[in-house]
Amino acid sequence: MEKRVLILCTGNSCRSIIAEALINSKLKGITCDSSGVKASGRVNPNAKKILEDKGIWKESYYSKNIDKVIDNTYDLVVTVCDNANETCPMFPNANKVIHIGFEDPDGKGFDAFVDTYNEIEEVLLPKVIDALE
């Protein structure tokens, strides 16, 4: 049975989009969405570039507000920034909510996005697997 995960951030432009793409491409049997508590409405160009470079970018990835996903059923909700963790609304259809914080690469050079990608892959993916067991 396929598991559903939501990655929640503030702007839904960098970390949560990267995490969504990584989970969808690397974790079998798991479908992931992302959203922001105050979505920016745009995907950061460097976040898109790192995902394109890794071959996991999809045109269906976009910055969306939490109201687009609040009524979906999720096995796991993961907040990836402190603001989203502090302002995370109640998800009536989520089995579990965890926080795994990452520094925001927005406004920094491309290398910061490479570092964020690597950190999310190394830290977040194993924790998602553990949380869903």
88: annotated active-site residue: yes
Nearest to 34 by CA among 2, 5, 1: 5
The C-alpha atoms of residue 116 and residue 81 are separated, in whole angstroms, by 12
Q: Which residue, chain included where needed, has tokens 């079998």?
A: 28
**Could you say which of 81, 84, 94, 120 is catalytic?**
81
Residue 32 appears among annotated catalytic residues = no
Write down the catalytic residue from 9, 37, 39, 51: 9
Residue of 27, 88, 97, 114 marked active site:
88
Q: Name the residue among 44, 41, 37, 105 with its Cα closest to residue 77.
A: 37
Tokens at 62, concatenated: 């976009």
Residues classed as catalytic = 9, 81, 88
